[in-house]
């Protein structure tokens, strides 16, 4: 929660003073940023690479719950989810814009916390905040971020490039962000029924961080560059592995087969899932917000990929018309369905 030492209503500042207060200490990192915040538009120097552009909106009550999301984490996450989309093109993010709709109930100090998170993400991921819009909202908090990056044309990874026999790979582990959300929701319910109860978060740091302060896989994109790996297709995992696998297969005109035992799930995710009577695999297939990368590579790259501890090979691409399948540890074969695996698996 934001520090509550001093409370200045946003209305005391007005739009222009507020924007100045929040943006006056920006230190631009890139020489390509010709003009940042403060004019009708920002100005960027293009390179000889292609430009990628992506945008995402986060709305209070839908994407976040301010009763348990610290504003600094929220600012960080709002940037990271956009950068994740840039990395999913195998591109490097360079610039972001941030638009905020803020209710007058917000204090200037709370907004400062939100911006601290935004600036931290800018530092960690080496991007410049170059513009935005701050306006009052009659309802909840709205955050809209646009991220701009660059990539050599021949390194671009679309969703549509997967080929038969390509290896299907994911970074990191899956389902953690979803289980972190379940934990936060459970403790919120406990707190609402008895405000004297203290939330029990001990031992769950990992999944809380996965939910509240996710990271984008900058490291993996840098490893691709270093190891001369160009994925044939790539997508970031924001809606769960099932949904993203189907997007990738549909757009590539192919099918897929993956193996349950290969799907990476952290032991903390698994532990809480079992405690809450959720099948751990379901958290990976249908839980969202992991912001890991799902990608395919030619089978010739098997040994190179197998060396990367950040990456798991979970299956392979099959021909169009075959079923999209997951082979369970018990040897059962089940079709992959977006958001539908749990129901089907029962």
Site for a second copy, rule CB under 8 A:
34-35, 38-57, 59-63, 85-86, 88-89, 91, 95, 97, 99-101, 130-133, 135-140, 142, 144, 146-149, 151, 153, 156, 158-160, 234-236, 251
In the complex, least distance from residue 225 CB atom to a second copy, rounded to whole angstroms: 18
In the complex, least distance from residue 264 CB atom to a second copy, rounded to whole angstroms: 21
The sheet carrying 311-318 orders its strands as 233-237, 292-297, 167-171, 311-318, 255-259, 325-327, 333-335
Nearer to a second copy, 57 or 308 (CB): 57
In the complex, least distance from residue 307 CB atom to a second copy, rounded to whole angstroms: 26
Of 204, 170, 172, 173, give the one whose Cα is nearest residue 276: 204
Helix, coil or strand: residue 52: strand
How far is CA 49 from each of CA 40, 62, 154, 274, rounded to the nearest angstrom?
Answer: 26, 36, 10, 47
| Pair of tokens at residue 116 | 């601290």
- Cα maximum dimension of the chain: 64
Residues 6+ apart with CB under 8 A from 310: 171, 172, 217, 219, 220, 223
Q: Cα(312)–Cα(172) distance, rounded to whole angstroms?
A: 8
Nearer to a second copy, 86 or 278 (CB): 86
Q: Nearest 5°: phi and psi at 215?
A: -115, 150
Nearer to a second copy, 149 or 176 (CB): 149
Residues 6+ apart with CB under 8 A from 112: 21, 22
In the complex, least distance from residue 140 CB atom to a second copy, rounded to whole angstroms: 6
Nearer to a second copy, 155 or 270 (CB): 155
Q: Residue 196 burial by CB count (10 A; 0-12/13-18/19+): exposed, middle or buried?
A: exposed
In the complex, least distance from residue 164 CB atom to a second copy, rounded to whole angstroms: 21
In the complex, least distance from residue 306 CB atom to a second copy, rounded to whole angstroms: 25
Nearer to a second copy, 86 or 167 (CB): 86
Question: Residue 125 belongs to what H/E stretch?
Answer: helix 108-125
Nearer to a second copy, 146 or 255 (CB): 146
In the complex, least distance from residue 57 CB atom to a second copy, rounded to whole angstroms: 4
Nearer to a second copy, 158 or 206 (CB): 158
Nearer to a second copy, 63 or 73 (CB): 63
Nearer to a second copy, 140 or 298 (CB): 140
Q: Cα(95)–Cα(161) distance, rounded to whole angstroms?
A: 27
Q: Cα(199)–Cα(231) distance, rounded to whole angstroms?
A: 42
In the complex, least distance from residue 201 CB atom to a second copy, rounded to whole angstroms: 26
In the complex, least distance from residue 3 CB atom to a second copy, rounded to whole angstroms: 27
User: In DSSP terms, which residues pair with 296 in a beta bridge?
Assistant: 168, 233
- 179, 91 Cβ separation under 8 angstroms: no
- 8, 114 Cβ separation under 8 angstroms: no
How far is CA 60 from each of CA 11, 207, 242, 339, rounded to the nearest angstrom?
Answer: 20, 21, 26, 23
């Amino acid at each position: 929660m934001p520090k509550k030492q001093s409370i200045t209503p946003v209305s005391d500042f007005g739009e222009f003073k507020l924007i100045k207060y929040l943006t006056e200490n920006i230190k631009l990192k890139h020489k390509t940023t010709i003009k940042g915040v403060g004019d009708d538009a920002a100005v960027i120097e293009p390179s000889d690479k292609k430009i990628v552009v992506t945008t995402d909106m986060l709305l209070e009550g839908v994407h976040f719950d301010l009763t348990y999301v610290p504003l600094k984490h929220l600012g960080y996450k709002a940037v990271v989810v956009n950068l994740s989309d840039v990395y999913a093109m195998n591109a490097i993010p360079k610039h972001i814009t941030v638009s905020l709709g803020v209710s007058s109930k917000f204090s200037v100090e709370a907004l400062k916390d939100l911006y601290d998170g935004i600036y931290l993400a800018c530092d960690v991921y080496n991007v410049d905040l170059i513009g935005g819009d701050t306006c009052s909202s009659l309802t909840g908090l709205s955050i809209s971020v646009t991220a701009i990056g660059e990539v050599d044309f021949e390194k671009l990874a679309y969703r549509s490039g997967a080929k038969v026999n390509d290896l299907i790979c994911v970074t990191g582990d899956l389902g953690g962000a979803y289980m972190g959300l379940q934990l936060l929701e459970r403790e919120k319910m406990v707190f609402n029924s008895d405000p004297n109860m203290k939330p029990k978060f001990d031992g769950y740091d990992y999944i809380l961080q996965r939910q509240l302060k996710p990271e984008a896989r900058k490291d993996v994109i840098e490893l691709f560059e270093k190891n001369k790996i160009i994925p044939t297709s790539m997508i970031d995992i924001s809606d769960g592995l099932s949904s993203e696998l189907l997007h990738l297969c549909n757009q590539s005109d192919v099918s897929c087969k993956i193996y349950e035992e290969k799907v990476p799930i952290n032991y903390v995710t698994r532990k809480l899932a079992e405690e809450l009577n959720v099948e751990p695999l379901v958290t990976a297939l249908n839980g969202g917000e992991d912001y890991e990368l799902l990608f395919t590579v030619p089978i010739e790259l098997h040994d190179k990929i197998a060396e990367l501890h950040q990456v798991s090979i979970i299956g392979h691409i099959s021909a169009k018309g075959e079923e999209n399948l997951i082979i369970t540890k018990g040897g059962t074969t089940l079709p992959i369905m977006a958001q539908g695996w749990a129901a089907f698996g029962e």
